[in-house]
Structure 1
Amino acid sequence: MKILAIEDNKELASSIYDYLAHENYICELAYSASEAREKLLFYSYDCIVLDIMLPDGNGLELLNFMKSEHISGSILIVSAKGALDDKIQGLESGADDYLTKPFHLPELHARLRAIHRRKNLEGNNIVSFKEIALNTNTFELKIHGKDLDTTRKEFELLLYFLVNKNRVLSRQAIANHLWGDYTDNLSNVDFVYQHVKNLRKKINQAGGADYIDTIYGLGYKFNTH
Protein backbone atom coordinates (compact mmCIF):
# COMPACT_ATOMS: atom_id res chain seq x y z
CA MET A 1 0.00 0.00 0.00
CA LYS A 2 1.25 3.47 -0.91
CA ILE A 3 0.38 6.31 1.45
CA LEU A 4 0.69 10.09 1.34
CA ALA A 5 0.78 11.74 4.78
CA ILE A 6 -0.06 15.45 4.61
CA GLU A 7 1.09 16.82 7.96
CA ASP A 8 2.88 20.09 8.76
CA ASN A 9 4.16 18.90 12.15
CA LYS A 10 7.48 17.48 10.99
CA GLU A 11 8.04 15.45 14.16
CA LEU A 12 4.66 13.73 13.81
CA ALA A 13 5.14 13.33 10.05
CA SER A 14 8.52 11.67 10.67
CA SER A 15 6.97 9.32 13.25
CA ILE A 16 4.22 8.34 10.80
CA TYR A 17 6.80 7.77 8.07
CA ASP A 18 9.06 5.64 10.26
CA TYR A 19 6.19 3.54 11.60
CA LEU A 20 4.64 2.83 8.19
CA ALA A 21 8.04 2.16 6.62
CA HIS A 22 8.70 -0.36 9.40
CA GLU A 23 5.41 -2.03 8.39
CA ASN A 24 6.78 -2.21 4.82
CA TYR A 25 4.47 0.42 3.32
CA ILE A 26 5.59 3.07 0.88
CA CYS A 27 5.03 6.42 2.56
CA GLU A 28 5.47 9.89 1.06
CA LEU A 29 5.25 13.13 3.03
CA ALA A 30 3.88 16.58 2.25
CA TYR A 31 4.21 19.41 4.79
CA SER A 32 1.87 21.92 3.14
CA ALA A 33 -1.23 22.13 0.95
CA SER A 34 0.78 23.35 -2.04
CA GLU A 35 3.27 20.47 -1.77
CA ALA A 36 0.38 18.03 -1.38
CA ARG A 37 -1.43 19.35 -4.48
CA GLU A 38 1.70 18.85 -6.57
CA LYS A 39 2.17 15.27 -5.38
CA LEU A 40 -1.51 14.41 -5.81
CA LEU A 41 -1.52 15.68 -9.39
CA PHE A 42 1.56 13.73 -10.44
CA TYR A 43 1.39 10.54 -8.37
CA SER A 44 -1.26 8.06 -7.22
CA TYR A 45 -1.78 6.82 -3.66
CA ASP A 46 -3.88 4.10 -2.06
CA CYS A 47 -4.52 6.15 1.08
CA ILE A 48 -4.08 9.78 2.07
CA VAL A 49 -3.64 10.89 5.69
CA LEU A 50 -4.95 14.47 5.63
CA ASP A 51 -4.32 16.96 8.41
CA ILE A 52 -7.01 19.65 8.63
CA MET A 53 -4.76 22.51 9.79
CA LEU A 54 -2.02 23.29 7.28
CA PRO A 55 0.24 26.36 7.13
CA ASP A 56 -1.03 27.48 3.70
CA GLY A 57 -4.62 26.29 3.70
CA ASN A 58 -7.30 24.09 5.15
CA GLY A 59 -7.27 20.33 4.64
CA LEU A 60 -10.95 20.44 3.73
CA GLU A 61 -10.09 22.72 0.79
CA LEU A 62 -7.54 20.12 -0.27
CA LEU A 63 -10.24 17.46 -0.05
CA ASN A 64 -12.45 19.51 -2.38
CA PHE A 65 -9.48 19.94 -4.73
CA MET A 66 -9.08 16.15 -4.91
CA LYS A 67 -12.77 15.79 -5.76
CA SER A 68 -12.60 18.43 -8.50
CA GLU A 69 -9.52 16.81 -10.05
CA HIS A 70 -11.04 13.29 -9.75
CA ILE A 71 -8.07 12.13 -7.67
CA SER A 72 -8.68 8.66 -6.25
CA GLY A 73 -7.48 7.24 -2.95
CA SER A 74 -8.94 6.52 0.46
CA ILE A 75 -8.84 9.52 2.78
CA LEU A 76 -8.27 9.50 6.53
CA ILE A 77 -8.69 12.95 8.10
CA VAL A 78 -6.75 13.79 11.26
CA SER A 79 -7.45 16.86 13.36
CA ALA A 80 -7.41 18.29 16.86
CA LYS A 81 -9.63 16.94 19.58
CA GLY A 82 -13.09 18.46 19.64
CA ALA A 83 -13.17 19.72 16.04
CA LEU A 84 -16.61 18.21 15.46
CA ASP A 85 -17.53 20.56 12.61
CA ASP A 86 -14.36 19.58 10.72
CA LYS A 87 -15.18 15.90 11.21
CA ILE A 88 -18.71 16.24 9.89
CA GLN A 89 -17.69 18.44 6.97
CA GLY A 90 -14.82 16.14 6.06
CA LEU A 91 -16.95 13.01 6.05
CA GLU A 92 -19.68 14.77 4.06
CA SER A 93 -17.04 15.89 1.54
CA GLY A 94 -15.96 12.31 0.87
CA ALA A 95 -13.40 11.37 3.51
CA ASP A 96 -13.51 7.69 4.51
CA ASP A 97 -12.67 8.01 8.20
CA TYR A 98 -11.61 10.47 10.88
CA LEU A 99 -8.95 10.22 13.58
CA THR A 100 -8.56 12.67 16.45
CA LYS A 101 -5.16 13.93 17.60
CA PRO A 102 -3.31 12.76 19.59
CA PHE A 103 -3.49 9.20 18.33
CA HIS A 104 -1.43 6.03 18.63
CA LEU A 105 0.37 4.95 15.47
CA PRO A 106 -0.97 1.35 15.62
CA GLU A 107 -4.49 2.83 15.54
CA LEU A 108 -3.58 4.93 12.49
CA HIS A 109 -2.24 1.77 10.86
CA ALA A 110 -5.41 -0.19 11.67
CA ARG A 111 -7.66 2.59 10.31
CA LEU A 112 -5.66 2.77 7.07
CA ARG A 113 -5.87 -0.98 6.56
CA ALA A 114 -9.59 -0.97 7.29
CA ILE A 115 -10.52 1.79 4.85
CA HIS A 116 -8.26 0.29 2.18
CA ARG A 117 -9.98 -3.09 2.54
CA ARG A 118 -13.40 -1.46 2.55
CA LYS A 119 -12.78 0.69 -0.52
CA ASN A 120 -10.47 -1.40 -2.70
CA LEU A 121 -10.79 -5.00 -1.54
CA GLU A 122 -14.58 -5.13 -0.96
CA GLY A 123 -14.00 -5.36 2.78
CA ASN A 124 -12.03 -8.61 2.56
CA ASN A 125 -8.51 -9.44 3.59
CA ILE A 126 -8.51 -12.30 1.07
CA VAL A 127 -8.04 -11.17 -2.53
CA SER A 128 -8.54 -13.97 -5.00
CA PHE A 129 -8.78 -14.65 -8.71
CA LYS A 130 -9.27 -18.18 -9.98
CA GLU A 131 -6.40 -20.27 -8.54
CA ILE A 132 -4.68 -17.26 -6.91
CA ALA A 133 -5.44 -16.17 -3.33
CA LEU A 134 -3.64 -13.46 -1.34
CA ASN A 135 -4.10 -12.81 2.36
CA THR A 136 -3.41 -9.11 2.99
CA ASN A 137 -3.21 -9.68 6.75
CA THR A 138 -0.57 -12.40 6.72
CA PHE A 139 0.95 -11.62 3.28
CA GLU A 140 0.56 -15.25 2.27
CA LEU A 141 0.05 -16.22 -1.37
CA LYS A 142 -1.59 -19.49 -2.34
CA ILE A 143 -1.78 -21.08 -5.79
CA HIS A 144 -4.32 -23.90 -6.05
CA GLY A 145 -4.53 -23.83 -2.24
CA LYS A 146 -0.80 -24.35 -1.72
CA ASP A 147 1.53 -21.77 -0.19
CA LEU A 148 3.88 -19.99 -2.57
CA ASP A 149 6.99 -18.33 -1.17
CA THR A 150 7.31 -14.75 -2.44
CA THR A 151 9.13 -11.63 -1.39
CA ARG A 152 7.08 -8.76 0.05
CA LYS A 153 7.61 -6.78 -3.18
CA GLU A 154 6.38 -9.70 -5.30
CA PHE A 155 3.30 -10.00 -3.09
CA GLU A 156 2.58 -6.26 -3.35
CA LEU A 157 3.17 -6.39 -7.12
CA LEU A 158 0.62 -9.16 -7.59
CA LEU A 159 -1.87 -7.36 -5.34
CA TYR A 160 -1.37 -4.18 -7.40
CA PHE A 161 -2.12 -6.15 -10.56
CA LEU A 162 -5.23 -7.75 -9.05
CA VAL A 163 -6.64 -4.45 -7.80
CA ASN A 164 -6.08 -3.04 -11.30
CA LYS A 165 -7.22 -6.01 -13.40
CA ASN A 166 -7.41 -5.36 -17.16
CA ARG A 167 -5.72 -1.97 -16.80
CA VAL A 168 -2.38 -1.24 -18.44
CA LEU A 169 0.17 -0.29 -15.78
CA SER A 170 3.34 1.42 -16.92
CA ARG A 171 6.71 0.40 -15.50
CA GLN A 172 6.99 3.88 -14.00
CA ALA A 173 3.59 3.57 -12.28
CA ILE A 174 4.58 0.19 -10.85
CA ALA A 175 7.94 1.57 -9.68
CA ASN A 176 6.28 4.57 -8.04
CA HIS A 177 3.70 2.39 -6.32
CA LEU A 178 6.12 -0.18 -4.93
CA TRP A 179 9.28 1.85 -4.34
CA GLY A 180 8.09 5.45 -3.95
CA ASP A 181 8.01 8.65 -5.95
CA TYR A 182 11.80 9.06 -5.86
CA THR A 183 11.97 6.55 -8.72
CA ASP A 184 11.00 9.45 -11.00
CA ASN A 185 14.62 10.55 -10.71
CA LEU A 186 16.06 7.21 -11.84
CA SER A 187 17.44 6.92 -15.35
CA ASN A 188 15.40 3.76 -15.92
CA VAL A 189 13.10 1.39 -14.09
CA ASP A 190 14.28 -1.85 -15.69
CA PHE A 191 14.26 -3.51 -12.25
CA VAL A 192 10.46 -3.70 -12.59
CA TYR A 193 10.93 -6.16 -15.46
CA GLN A 194 12.97 -8.48 -13.24
CA HIS A 195 10.35 -8.46 -10.48
CA VAL A 196 7.55 -9.20 -12.95
CA LYS A 197 9.67 -11.98 -14.49
CA ASN A 198 10.36 -13.56 -11.08
CA LEU A 199 6.69 -13.38 -10.08
CA ARG A 200 5.56 -14.99 -13.35
CA LYS A 201 8.12 -17.76 -12.96
CA LYS A 202 7.07 -18.60 -9.39
CA ILE A 203 3.36 -18.69 -10.28
CA ASN A 204 4.06 -20.84 -13.33
CA GLN A 205 6.19 -23.30 -11.37
CA ALA A 206 3.34 -23.61 -8.84
CA GLY A 207 0.95 -24.58 -11.64
CA GLY A 208 -0.72 -21.20 -12.01
CA ALA A 209 -1.62 -19.58 -15.32
CA ASP A 210 0.21 -16.53 -16.64
CA TYR A 211 -2.30 -13.69 -16.58
CA ILE A 212 0.29 -10.92 -16.82
CA ASP A 213 0.58 -9.63 -20.37
CA THR A 214 3.48 -7.51 -21.54
CA ILE A 215 2.16 -4.51 -23.47
CA TYR A 216 5.20 -3.50 -25.48
CA GLY A 217 6.10 0.14 -25.17
CA LEU A 218 3.52 0.69 -22.42
CA GLY A 219 3.92 -1.75 -19.53
CA TYR A 220 1.93 -4.70 -18.19
CA LYS A 221 -1.68 -5.78 -17.77
CA PHE A 222 -3.26 -8.46 -15.60
CA ASN A 223 -5.59 -9.96 -18.20
CA THR A 224 -8.73 -11.71 -16.98
CA HIS A 225 -10.18 -12.34 -20.44
Structure 2
Amino acid sequence: MKILLIEDEPELLKSIGHYLSQNNFRCDQADNIRLAQAYLEINDYDCIVLDITFPLGSGFDVLKSFDSIGRHCGILIISAKDSLEDKLYGLELGADDYLTKPFHLPELAARLYAIQRRRFFGGNDILKLGELMVNIRDKYAKTQNGVIDLTRKEFDLLMYFISNKEKVVTKQSIVDHLWGEHASMTDNHDLIYVHIKNLRKKLVEKGCPDYISGVYGVGYRFSIDKSYQKI
Protein backbone atom coordinates (compact mmCIF):
# COMPACT_ATOMS: atom_id res chain seq x y z
CA MET A 1 0.00 0.00 0.00
CA LYS A 2 1.37 3.41 -0.96
CA ILE A 3 1.00 6.03 1.79
CA LEU A 4 1.61 9.76 2.05
CA LEU A 5 2.39 10.68 5.66
CA ILE A 6 1.83 14.36 6.51
CA GLU A 7 3.08 15.24 9.99
CA ASP A 8 5.13 18.20 11.27
CA GLU A 9 6.53 16.61 14.45
CA PRO A 10 9.97 15.29 13.33
CA GLU A 11 10.24 12.39 15.77
CA LEU A 12 6.68 11.22 15.18
CA LEU A 13 7.12 11.55 11.42
CA LYS A 14 10.27 9.45 11.60
CA SER A 15 8.71 6.87 13.94
CA ILE A 16 5.55 6.36 11.90
CA GLY A 17 7.46 6.35 8.61
CA HIS A 18 9.92 3.73 9.86
CA TYR A 19 7.17 1.50 11.25
CA LEU A 20 5.08 1.63 8.09
CA SER A 21 8.10 0.98 5.88
CA GLN A 22 8.96 -2.09 7.97
CA ASN A 23 5.41 -3.40 7.60
CA ASN A 24 5.00 -3.54 3.83
CA PHE A 25 3.88 0.05 3.27
CA ARG A 26 5.62 2.39 0.84
CA CYS A 27 5.65 5.71 2.60
CA ASP A 28 6.40 9.20 1.28
CA GLN A 29 6.80 11.79 4.05
CA ALA A 30 5.93 15.49 4.19
CA ASP A 31 6.49 17.74 7.21
CA ASN A 32 4.55 20.72 5.82
CA ILE A 33 1.46 21.45 3.77
CA ARG A 34 3.31 22.83 0.76
CA LEU A 35 5.43 19.70 0.37
CA ALA A 36 2.36 17.51 0.86
CA GLN A 37 0.49 19.30 -1.90
CA ALA A 38 3.52 18.99 -4.18
CA TYR A 39 3.56 15.22 -3.62
CA LEU A 40 -0.16 15.02 -4.37
CA GLU A 41 0.27 16.89 -7.63
CA ILE A 42 2.59 14.23 -9.04
CA ASN A 43 1.78 10.97 -7.23
CA ASP A 44 -1.18 8.69 -6.59
CA TYR A 45 -1.61 7.19 -3.13
CA ASP A 46 -3.77 4.46 -1.66
CA CYS A 47 -4.13 6.38 1.57
CA ILE A 48 -3.00 9.59 3.28
CA VAL A 49 -2.15 9.80 6.97
CA LEU A 50 -2.84 13.42 7.78
CA ASP A 51 -2.21 15.56 10.84
CA ILE A 52 -4.51 18.59 10.92
CA THR A 53 -2.40 20.99 13.01
CA PHE A 54 0.54 22.80 11.40
CA PRO A 55 2.31 26.09 12.21
CA LEU A 56 1.45 27.34 8.72
CA GLY A 57 -1.76 26.04 7.22
CA SER A 58 -4.05 23.20 8.24
CA GLY A 59 -4.46 19.58 7.30
CA PHE A 60 -8.05 20.48 6.49
CA ASP A 61 -6.66 22.59 3.62
CA VAL A 62 -5.33 19.39 2.04
CA LEU A 63 -8.78 17.81 2.25
CA LYS A 64 -10.39 20.89 0.74
CA SER A 65 -7.98 20.79 -2.19
CA PHE A 66 -8.89 17.24 -3.19
CA ASP A 67 -11.66 18.25 -5.57
CA SER A 68 -9.34 20.55 -7.49
CA ILE A 69 -6.48 18.04 -7.83
CA GLY A 70 -8.79 15.10 -8.48
CA ARG A 71 -7.32 12.59 -6.05
CA HIS A 72 -9.35 9.64 -4.87
CA CYS A 73 -7.64 7.88 -1.99
CA GLY A 74 -8.28 6.96 1.61
CA ILE A 75 -7.76 9.53 4.34
CA LEU A 76 -6.82 8.81 7.94
CA ILE A 77 -6.63 11.92 10.15
CA ILE A 78 -4.29 11.79 13.15
CA SER A 79 -4.57 14.57 15.70
CA ALA A 80 -3.96 15.46 19.32
CA LYS A 81 -7.36 17.16 19.22
CA ASP A 82 -10.12 14.91 20.49
CA SER A 83 -13.00 17.26 19.85
CA LEU A 84 -16.18 15.97 18.27
CA GLU A 85 -16.32 19.12 16.15
CA ASP A 86 -12.95 18.40 14.49
CA LYS A 87 -13.86 14.75 13.92
CA LEU A 88 -17.17 15.62 12.27
CA TYR A 89 -15.58 18.35 10.17
CA GLY A 90 -12.85 16.02 8.94
CA LEU A 91 -15.36 13.32 8.03
CA GLU A 92 -17.57 15.85 6.27
CA LEU A 93 -14.56 16.90 4.15
CA GLY A 94 -14.03 13.32 3.04
CA ALA A 95 -11.82 11.62 5.66
CA ASP A 96 -12.41 7.89 6.18
CA ASP A 97 -11.25 7.69 9.79
CA TYR A 98 -9.92 9.79 12.69
CA LEU A 99 -7.29 8.58 15.16
CA THR A 100 -6.47 10.57 18.29
CA LYS A 101 -2.88 10.93 19.50
CA PRO A 102 -1.23 9.20 21.23
CA PHE A 103 -1.91 5.90 19.52
CA HIS A 104 -0.22 2.54 19.05
CA LEU A 105 1.44 2.08 15.67
CA PRO A 106 -0.14 -1.38 15.09
CA GLU A 107 -3.56 0.27 15.46
CA LEU A 108 -2.59 2.85 12.83
CA ALA A 109 -1.59 0.07 10.43
CA ALA A 110 -4.78 -1.86 11.15
CA ARG A 111 -6.91 1.18 10.37
CA LEU A 112 -5.03 1.76 7.12
CA TYR A 113 -5.69 -1.82 6.05
CA ALA A 114 -9.35 -1.42 7.01
CA ILE A 115 -9.62 1.69 4.82
CA GLN A 116 -7.99 -0.16 1.94
CA ARG A 117 -10.37 -3.10 2.29
CA ARG A 118 -13.44 -0.85 2.39
CA ARG A 119 -12.41 1.36 -0.51
CA PHE A 120 -10.96 -1.16 -2.92
CA PHE A 121 -12.07 -4.66 -1.94
CA GLY A 122 -15.55 -4.37 -0.47
CA GLY A 123 -14.33 -4.93 3.09
CA ASN A 124 -12.89 -8.38 2.31
CA ASP A 125 -9.58 -9.78 3.54
CA ILE A 126 -9.62 -12.57 0.96
CA LEU A 127 -10.06 -11.97 -2.77
CA LYS A 128 -11.04 -14.61 -5.31
CA LEU A 129 -10.14 -13.75 -8.90
CA GLY A 130 -10.64 -16.64 -11.27
CA GLU A 131 -8.10 -19.31 -10.33
CA LEU A 132 -6.28 -16.96 -7.96
CA MET A 133 -6.92 -16.38 -4.26
CA VAL A 134 -5.21 -13.47 -2.47
CA ASN A 135 -5.11 -12.95 1.29
CA ILE A 136 -4.67 -9.20 1.83
CA ARG A 137 -4.17 -9.36 5.58
CA ASP A 138 -1.53 -12.11 5.62
CA LYS A 139 -0.04 -11.07 2.27
CA TYR A 140 0.06 -14.22 0.23
CA ALA A 141 -1.48 -15.56 -2.96
CA LYS A 142 -2.30 -19.12 -3.90
CA THR A 143 -4.05 -21.35 -6.40
CA GLN A 144 -5.49 -24.82 -5.97
CA ASN A 145 -1.90 -26.04 -6.43
CA GLY A 146 -0.63 -24.20 -3.38
CA VAL A 147 0.89 -20.94 -2.17
CA ILE A 148 2.79 -18.88 -4.74
CA ASP A 149 6.29 -17.93 -3.58
CA LEU A 150 6.24 -14.17 -4.18
CA THR A 151 8.78 -11.59 -3.07
CA ARG A 152 7.49 -8.48 -1.31
CA LYS A 153 7.82 -6.41 -4.50
CA GLU A 154 6.02 -9.08 -6.52
CA PHE A 155 3.14 -9.20 -4.04
CA ASP A 156 2.94 -5.39 -4.04
CA LEU A 157 2.91 -5.47 -7.84
CA LEU A 158 0.13 -8.06 -7.86
CA MET A 159 -1.95 -5.95 -5.45
CA TYR A 160 -1.42 -2.88 -7.62
CA PHE A 161 -2.70 -4.79 -10.64
CA ILE A 162 -5.69 -6.10 -8.70
CA SER A 163 -6.52 -2.63 -7.36
CA ASN A 164 -6.58 -1.45 -10.99
CA LYS A 165 -8.25 -4.57 -12.40
CA GLU A 166 -9.41 -4.18 -16.02
CA LYS A 167 -7.53 -0.85 -16.31
CA VAL A 168 -4.36 -0.17 -18.27
CA VAL A 169 -1.54 0.92 -15.95
CA THR A 170 1.55 2.60 -17.38
CA LYS A 171 5.09 1.48 -16.69
CA GLN A 172 5.80 4.81 -15.01
CA SER A 173 2.80 4.46 -12.68
CA ILE A 174 4.12 1.05 -11.63
CA VAL A 175 7.57 2.53 -10.96
CA ASP A 176 6.04 5.36 -8.90
CA HIS A 177 3.87 2.97 -6.93
CA LEU A 178 6.58 0.45 -6.10
CA TRP A 179 9.41 2.87 -5.36
CA GLY A 180 7.63 6.06 -4.26
CA GLU A 181 10.00 8.93 -3.61
CA HIS A 182 12.90 6.75 -4.76
CA ALA A 183 11.36 6.28 -8.21
CA SER A 184 13.82 8.77 -9.72
CA MET A 185 16.60 6.33 -8.89
CA THR A 186 15.12 3.89 -11.41
CA ASP A 187 16.62 5.11 -14.71
CA ASN A 188 14.69 2.76 -17.00
CA HIS A 189 11.87 0.26 -17.00
CA ASP A 190 14.00 -2.87 -17.30
CA LEU A 191 13.50 -3.65 -13.60
CA ILE A 192 9.73 -3.38 -14.00
CA TYR A 193 9.87 -5.82 -16.91
CA VAL A 194 11.81 -8.30 -14.77
CA HIS A 195 9.34 -8.08 -11.86
CA ILE A 196 6.35 -8.52 -14.18
CA LYS A 197 8.00 -11.40 -16.03
CA ASN A 198 8.76 -13.18 -12.74
CA LEU A 199 5.27 -12.57 -11.37
CA ARG A 200 3.60 -13.93 -14.51
CA LYS A 201 5.89 -16.97 -14.52
CA LYS A 202 5.15 -17.80 -10.88
CA LEU A 203 1.39 -17.48 -11.39
CA VAL A 204 1.45 -19.78 -14.41
CA GLU A 205 3.71 -22.34 -12.71
CA LYS A 206 1.08 -22.71 -9.97
CA GLY A 207 -1.66 -23.36 -12.50
CA CYS A 208 -3.04 -19.83 -12.71
CA PRO A 209 -3.89 -18.39 -16.15
CA ASP A 210 -1.73 -15.47 -17.21
CA TYR A 211 -4.06 -12.62 -16.23
CA ILE A 212 -1.47 -9.92 -17.01
CA SER A 213 -1.39 -8.68 -20.58
CA GLY A 214 0.93 -6.17 -22.18
CA VAL A 215 -0.61 -3.18 -23.93
CA TYR A 216 1.86 -2.18 -26.62
CA GLY A 217 3.46 1.21 -26.06
CA VAL A 218 1.44 1.93 -22.92
CA GLY A 219 1.79 -0.57 -20.10
CA TYR A 220 -0.09 -3.57 -18.72
CA ARG A 221 -3.58 -4.73 -17.84
CA PHE A 222 -4.73 -7.26 -15.23
CA SER A 223 -7.90 -9.02 -16.33
CA ILE A 224 -9.53 -12.40 -15.92
CA ASP A 225 -11.35 -11.78 -19.21
CA LYS A 226 -9.75 -14.21 -21.66
CA SER A 227 -10.76 -12.04 -24.62
CA TYR A 228 -7.63 -9.94 -24.07
CA GLN A 229 -4.63 -11.20 -26.04
CA LYS A 230 -1.60 -11.99 -23.92
CA ILE A 231 1.72 -10.66 -25.20
For the residues of structure 1 that align with 2:29 and 2:191, how far apart are their CA atoms?
24
Q: Is the CA contact (8 Å cut-off) linking 1:131 and 1:145 kept in structure 2? A: no
- Range that drifts further, 79-88 or 128-137: 79-88
For residue 67 of structure 1, report the CA deviation from its aligned partner: 2.7
DSSP-derived class of the 1:61 partner: helix
DSSP-derived class of the 2:114 partner: helix
DSSP-derived class of the 1:8 partner: coil
What is the Cα-based RMSD across aligned positions, in Å? 1.3
Structure 2 residues without counterparts, runs of 5 or longer: 226-231
What CA deviation, in whole Å up to 9, does each residue of 1:175-214 have, x standing for no partner? 1111223213432132010000001111111111111111
- Range that drifts further, 123-132 or 65-74: 65-74
Task: Report whether the alignment pairs 1:139 with 2:150.
Answer: no
Q: Is the CA contact (8 Å cut-off) linking 2:60 and 2:90 kept in structure 1? A: yes
For residue 145 of structure 1, report the CA deviation from its aligned partner: 5.7
Partner residue, 2:228: none
- Range that drifts further, 45-54 or 77-86: 77-86
Q: Is the CA contact (8 Å cut-off) linking 1:43 and 1:181 kept in structure 2? A: no
What CA deviation, in whole Å up to 9, does each residue of 1:105-135 have, x standing for no partner? 1111111111111111110111221101110
Q: Which amino acid aligns with 2:10?
A: K
Partner residue, 2:59: 59
Partner residue, 2:98: 98
Partner residue, 1:194: 194
Q: Report how many residues are paired.
A: 225
Q: Which amino acid aligns with 1:14?
A: K
Q: Which amino acid aligns with 1:196?
A: I
What CA deviation, in whole Å up to 9, does each residue of 1:136-189 have, x standing for no partner? 111121113622111121111111111101111111111111122321343213
DSSP-derived class of the 2:158 partner: helix
Partner residue, 1:156: 156
Partner residue, 1:207: 207
Structure 1 residues without counterparts, runs of 5 or longer: none
Runs of 4+ in structure 1 deviating by more than 3 angstroms, as ranges, are none
Partner residue, 2:229: none
Which TM-score applies when normalising by structure 1?
Answer: 0.95
For the residues of structure 2 that align with 1:99 and 1:58, how far apart are their CA atoms?
16
For the residues of structure 1 that align with 2:197 and 2:187, how far apart are their CA atoms?
20
Partner residue, 2:223: 223
- Would the alpha carbon gap of residues 88 and 150 (structure 1) be closer, same or farther in structure 2, given more than 3 Å must change? same
DSSP-derived class of the 2:65 partner: helix
Identity rate, percent = 48
